[in-house]
Structure 1
């Protein structure tokens, strides 16, 4: 089976989960990109929350455990919606749910000092790789971003229906679209069409 691929426009792994639904602001027309556990694992691999060995091991495990597979999908989607509400909408109740999920993740990890290649920085290391690992790593990344100065660069695509988010690292911080060749082109075409309709 071919692996699913996901657009990565955010500039931060802590935000990538938020963009696993397309046309978020379209209401009933939004498109779920995490349809099953295989897609969650593919997303985690592409984002860097799993390596190839971990991906293969968890895919084999979840193929024989329907309950764990369903729980992974629900966990990933739940964190996604709470993280979006927290980071984009400033929802305090959602922030508490993210914090609770973070505490659970920390209970399954230990602090470990990195070697010289990591500059001696301390990091969280999972005690074991399990079906919960992709979301454990994702929630740690979300909170890392939430507590950093980079959060001030958070911007939501200005398309009326898109809803994707990203860090605006453009020199003048004036990036308007998640993708210049997708939402950008579509909105420029709409503006062009409106201008010429008025001129007729």
Structure 2
């Protein structure tokens, strides 16, 4: 049986799709950049931990990935492209071209499923190695078409790159974390002011 790796999940984004965009640390600093999802099993572990994939489905997909590693690697690459293209579209105002393509694939491979409360949602029609890509495409499409997307903001640290939905009362949140990037940048600004004086 294929085991999933342990993985830390950041919840600072305020939305599951935004949190998935934050699976790259120090996005704009090549010397510190860290990919939190280096392979398909890490991606499954993240999705399971975030509640996007039930445990049994994640386990079944991990076994499929162990049996078909080349296809799993291809799917991982497609998901990373989807994540990074959606990130760029949200931050630079461009068109999410990769999401458009992946969404067509997801709808073609999906079906509507009724939830216990009576609402409906898209789900993959088959549990295959492409299922995580389809689930993520629907999550990103939900985010981009929601009213909440106007609250989307990137951490103002020049190297961080993490993003979040600004739900603060004054809509003036600047940092992914006030205790981390916020504190570091306040110290840096204080140092620069002291040096100038």
TM-score by length of 2: 0.91
Q: C-alpha separation between the residues in 1 aligned to 2:42 and 2:158?
A: 27
Q: C-alpha separation between the residues in 2 aligned to 1:79 and 1:72?
A: 11
Aligned equivalent of 1:41: 44
Aligned equivalent of 1:106: 107
Picking from 71, 74, 78, the partner of 1:71 is 74
Q: C-alpha separation between the residues in 2 aligned to 1:49 and 1:106?
A: 17
| Matched-pair contact (CA < 8 Å) for 1:79–1:98 | yes
Shift of residue 39, structure 1, vs aligned partner = 0.9
Structure 2: gaps (5+ residues): none
Displaced runs of 4+ in structure 1, greater than 3 A? none
| Matched-pair contact (CA < 8 Å) for 1:5–1:42 | no
Aligned equivalent of 1:185: 183
Number of aligned residues: 194
Q: Which has the higher helix share?
A: 1
Q: C-alpha separation between the residues in 2 aligned to 1:56 and 1:122?
A: 25
| Matched-pair contact (CA < 8 Å) for 1:22–1:164 | yes
State whether structure 2 residue 33 is matched by structure 1 residue 30. yes
Picking from 122, 134, 137, the partner of 2:120 is 122
Query: Which is further off, 33-42 or 158-167?
Result: 33-42
| Matched-pair contact (CA < 8 Å) for 2:81–2:98 | no
**Aligned positions of 1:129-140 closer than 5 A:** 129-140=127-138
Aligned equivalent of 2:170: 172
Shift of residue 175, structure 1, vs aligned partner = 0.6
State whether structure 2 residue 195 is matched by structure 1 residue 197. yes
| Matched-pair contact (CA < 8 Å) for 2:110–2:124 | yes
TM-score by length of 1: 0.90
